[in-house]
Structure 1
């Protein structure tokens, strides 16, 4: 498995995953999957172009509570083993490592159900970290639910250190969360 920049040749496999009910948005689920499928069908070239959005020119981001916030810079990669396996993305706030309160972490990932438990998320994060390190941040933060043992393992295997237990903002339901930090000198 390798991470790849989304290309036109990958779109049919990505769309098939969406059509099977998988969602790249782990908080909004099927609604986000339907929206992504609509965007891809309407303008595939624009969808692919926005996979790398360093200027935050894309559409605003819809949060789980339905509120809408401005996009921040970011880019996405797809997990690929000959077919689409999932997504891993990076987002940041220009000027430093701090994030806006409604942005839970720098990195998010989601693996299609039929490819889980193969180590793909762990490997995708391992491959993404050197790319992200080139952005000049001293560290990245990744959050997950306390009950998400597979995600905890992915993060810790890649050098993540638990820095806090926190309550997610109201837009995300106010549920408990774990915040991990990965310093780049640790992944060099």
Structure 2
């Protein structure tokens, strides 16, 4: 799937909704594609935030969303699950202030509205239960009706409206999805 991923990056898509990481990822893939792929599942290290600061990378899972029924353009987007762990390696629900929620996802514009994000979030909820998280928080821009529908379709309950100054003045919505029955 790497060629399809590269095509999406070259077309202007970025897996990061806050900062365009496409040029960095394209350079990393061109330099060492195997190392790039391995880096998607490696724990530890640092990440660069949109303000240029480097912070410790949280434990996470990155999943590419693939459309088996679209062999000519199978890459649809990506979704990730992130969490913190205590000193014993057990998951905790608190997140650092620079992390808006446990889940982030982005779909290529030509695939929007086809249910891919809803299906991907449903699959990530299963993985979050396996990790041991009791609930997830997910945020979206207040004006992103499509993302609200994805979250609500997967059991998200509205928690609050808020502004995260680190990410700008835009209003955001926070949802919570309970994972324990």
TM-score, normalising length from structure 1? 0.86
Residue of structure 1 aligned with 2:118, choices 100, 113, 122: 122
Cα distance in structure 1, aligned partners of 2:128 and 2:27: 29
Q: Residue 179 of structure 1: which of 162, 166, 174 is its match?
A: 174
* Maintained 8 Å contact 1:141/1:180: yes
2:30 is aligned with 1:52: no
* Partner SS state of residue 136, structure 2: strand
Q: Which residue of 2 aligns with 1:167?
A: 163
Unaligned 5+ segments in structure 2 are: 69-73, 87-91
Query: Structure 1 stretches (4+) deviating beyond 6 angstroms?
Result: none
Deviations 1:106-144 (A, max 9, x none): 110010111111111011101111112111111111111
3, 26, 46: which one aligns with 1:12 = 3
How big is the shift at 1:49?
1.3
Q: Secondary structure at the match of 1:89?
A: strand
Aligned CA-pair RMSD: 1.3
Aligned residue in 2 for 1:4: none
Aligned residues: 171
SS at structure 2 position matched to 1:61: strand
Q: How does 1:24-173 map to 2 (within 5 A)?
A: 24-29=15-20, 32-53=21-42, 55-57=43-45, 60-82=46-68, 83-95=74-86, 96-170=92-166, 172-173=167-168
